[in-house]
Structure 1
């Protein structure tokens, strides 16, 4: 399919129209001439891993117009679920820029969608065979009236429709925070994870203590992109402490305390002694 028309909304300036052309250039011209990639073992392909990410400016122009059709982006992906036809794009676009400025890699678990915020994470299920995959939406398309989502070659292979070109699918948006908490809960309940984590000797800053592990992990996720230090959750006598560190010097500890204060987070010094075994429930640290 060759691009016939790409125009910005009438209220968009010519410069913005050029920007829209650039960010959509990697996804509007897919067609039957698009080629497959190398053979992959569908069972060995790992899902995309959902993680909290800010919505990018690039790739989120709204409204935009392609082939005379105007699209308005969703303000939020929360609760989105739909069924429709999925297609895939491969070697013809491998190495080109996606709508948000990333380089398209046909061997990564990514997807294009016309109106979901970029980035979003969705679970796509092939309704013909029950296979499912988690992909990260980082592109726009497919610009066919009868198609709902465009998947990478790897994702199409994992869903086992790469030979046919299209498939009937169900698409469900994933909340990255809820997904990560669910994964941590499963890990905590597995026999291999029954032993409590070991804490390295040193100085820490305690920024929270919760009775529920989910709340502790939620604070960890909120902080992880805001401060340049390790963060961990320590089970301790029925509570779950959120610790920043270890901090290797008094200067680093003071700097971390100041950075946390700028985020309006109170912090208390926590010392892990060399003789303190966290796995010992009677140890006092």
Structure 2
């Protein structure tokens, strides 16, 4: 007797994006051991920053150590272990990155690239660059390459007509503002951080404006002056976790007095 096997087929269900607050940093590491069959739907324009040796070796949200030379990125909502195509709106160059961390901490950023990813995209010579970020599937070969810290296969450059459309979208860009439940749970940040207050990291204070500005330029921060004192600050940051990461990174660079400050 012949046995007829029936297989039901259907489209993959829509996967809701997970807010950064729902990420449990104590959970087991999320590693790209399998290629996602159905990436989430995500397509946005905004600005990319990058981070490098100042955070080398830090734990990422996915559990592994941050490697500045790898082709990775931090994003607020794309699933950890997933992949995204990042396109430079200046050149059209497109790369595939592995999302392995949460960020950016700055309110006016769409994505934080590793130094390696920024170099591959051609944006490492600037603090912020306009980009498109689109969730993407990855081949087994590309997933393995990214997991090993290498680049995926080259993507086609975005054509001129598409770049013009994306730049038009960017002209109406509104920075993502996200307050997370982490603010209510962090014991290392004042309770005033909950709500609409601003989180900053104060790295150092100088009586010399030129020295303060030189440090701010190196750290990509800003200088505030009051009463003849010039304070070097980083931020603003979207949540206490991001501010704590920046404060800890500054301390590792020799600025052990770096502190998180809250401004209304």
| TM class, shorter-length | 0.3 to 0.5
Q: Which has the higher contact order (CA 8 A, sep 6+)?
A: 2
TM-score normalised by length of structure 2: 0.40
Which structure has the greater CA radius of gyration? 1
TM-score (norm 1): 0.37
